[in-house]
Amino acid sequence: MTDFKKYLDDGIADFHNGNFIMAIESLNSAIELDRNSYLAYFFRAAAYHATEKYNEAMLDYTKAIALNDKMTDAYYNRAKIILSRKDIQNPDIKKAISDLDKALELDPKFADALYALAAAYKKLEDYHKALEALEKLLQLSPDHVFGRALKKLILQKYII
């Protein structure tokens, strides 16, 4: 096994075991040996994300996408950071929607991305687009508790 493969495997294993700092260290070593490993960037981004180092996570998700534009979870995770950060005054919701659209283009049955898309449109006060996303979600997963609740809220509070 090459050193790169060992560092990558160790980093992924550490990530899955919740050892995020160790994962970052191993993945740093993997990236030093292969700067074109989208998996190393993706898992390092996910470890940064888990440790709330959002700026570093965003950079690594972006690098993973640049190396492999089929990284569905990287688009989704990048959007989730934009939508969930409380320390940014005016988050770029349209960028999050663009990332979620790309994730859904790659995987049209990605229920979490549909829910996040609905939430993003709600933040923009585009309630009809939010409902469209929720309808798709509830067709895929009729018992999606949060989807049903958000749909009910939008219909009762915002759609007259």
Report the amino acid identity of residue 151: K
Residues of the chain above pLDDT 90, percent: 91
Asked if the model's pLDDT at residue 87 lies above 60, the reply is yes
pLDDT band at 160 (very low <50, low <70, confident <90, very high): low
CA–CA distance, 31 with 28 (Å, rounded to integer): 5
Q: Tell me the CB-side half-sphere exposure of residue 123, using CA atoms within 13 A.
A: 17
pLDDT of residue 95: 96
Give the chain's domains with CATH numbers.
1-68 (1.25.40.10), 75-160 (1.25.40.10)
Task: Say yes or no to pLDDT of 37 above 60.
Answer: yes
**Cβ(121)–Cβ(144) under 8 Å?**
no
Dihedral angle at the C-alpha atoms of 143, 146, 148, 149, nearest 10 degrees?
A: 140
Task: Report the amino acid identity of residue 58.
Answer: M
Residues 83-93 have a mean pLDDT of 85
Secondary structure class of 109 (helix, strand, coil): coil
